[in-house]
Amino acid sequence: MSEVLIVEQDPSGVVRVTLNRPEAHNALSPELTEALERATEALARDASLRALVLTGAGASFCAGGDIKAMRAMVAGTRAERMARSSRFARLLAALRALPVPVVARVNGPAYAGGAGLVSVADIAIAAQGARFGFTEPRIGIAPANISPYVLARVGASAARRLFLSGQRFEAADGLRLGLYDRVVAPDALDATVEAELEAILQCSPSALAACKRLIAEVPGRDGESAMAYTATLLADLWETEDAREGIAAFNEKRKPRWARQD
């Protein structure tokens, strides 16, 4: 894919995407961001995909935006700034919209846009020592593109202090606030991620895709609309091969053989 992004897929359908600029703490340069865009677009079309693990090479998860690229944005035109900002917003939305669980393996510090990538994930597991912070105000900007996902993760009340101080916080604070789902010792990070993946792979791919649609759609609907949407979705699922197989496997006390999505 690119030297700055490593994409690896195993036979189970799990794809591991590694931000690979360790010398720059995996800061989101235009090259890295564009590589991540291309990878996300390809994964969205990959019917064999079962889960995505996003992590960083080296000691950091992601330091956020690349300062050298930001200098170019300041010196550029408004049209260039709008284009770059819009592309990053679309990337975040595309990651969130993937029909499979997205797991953030947070191996080290995650600041600004890096913390935003954590917020986009469905499941976020951090190593102790993986500090985070929304540090954009310290360089005169704001966590704009990432704010919908951060607010969905931690809520407006917690975001006030996180955004309005620009402070760096410990992973334990992120766990308490809801940014992370688990915080574990560094040497337990891989085993913890693998345990999450094992649980994911036991589930029906079509059912997990439906779960992601529920999470995205139901909060924005009123009572009648939500009931109609959920009733239709469940009725549709009952008609799938995965539902027939899952129910049969339960009754026969065996593991289900999920239909390949490709």
> Where do the structural domains in the chain lie, given as residue ranges?
5-201, 205-251
> Is the pLDDT at 260 greater than 80, yes or no?
no
| Interior angle at CA 220, CA 216 and CA 223, nearest 5 | 120
Q: Using CA atoms, how far apart are residues 171 and 131, in angstroms rounded to an integer?
A: 5
Residue 145 DSSP code = T
Number of residues in the chain = 262
In this prediction, residue 203 carries a pLDDT of 97
Query: What gap in Å lies between CA 1 and CA 8, rounded to an integer?
Result: 10
Average pLDDT over every residue of 49-67: 97
Q: Is the per-residue pLDDT at 53 higher than 50?
A: yes
Q: Of 111, 116, 144, 146, which is closest to residue 24 (Cα–Cα)?
A: 111
Count CB atoms within 10 A of the CB of residue 215: 12
Alpha-carbon separation of residue 211 from 64, 101, 214, 234 (angstroms): 29, 10, 5, 10
Residue 217, φ and ψ in degrees, nearest 5: -95, -40
Grade residue 262 by pLDDT with cuts at 50, 70 and 90: very low
The catalytic position among 136, 194, 217, 245 is 136
- Could you tell me which residues are beta bridge partners of residue 28? 65
For position 185, what pLDDT does the model report?
Answer: 98
**d(C-alpha 45, C-alpha 141), whole Å:** 34
Once rounded to an integer, what is the mean pLDDT over residues 23-49? 97
pTM of the model: 0.95
- For residue 91, pLDDT over 90 is answered with yes
pLDDT of 2 reads 67
- Mean predicted confidence (pLDDT) in 77-88: 94
Is residue 103 within 8 A of residue 83, CB to CB? The reply is no
Pairing mode, strands 168-169 and 182-184: unpaired
Fold of 5-201: 2-enoyl-CoA Hydratase; Chain A, domain 1 (3.90.226)
Active site (annotated) includes residue 252: no
For a pLDDT cut of 70, what percent of the chain falls above it? 98
Give the mean pLDDT of the chain: 96
Q: What is the pLDDT of residues 104-141, one digit of tens each?
A: 999 999 999 999 999 999 999 999 999 999 999 999 99
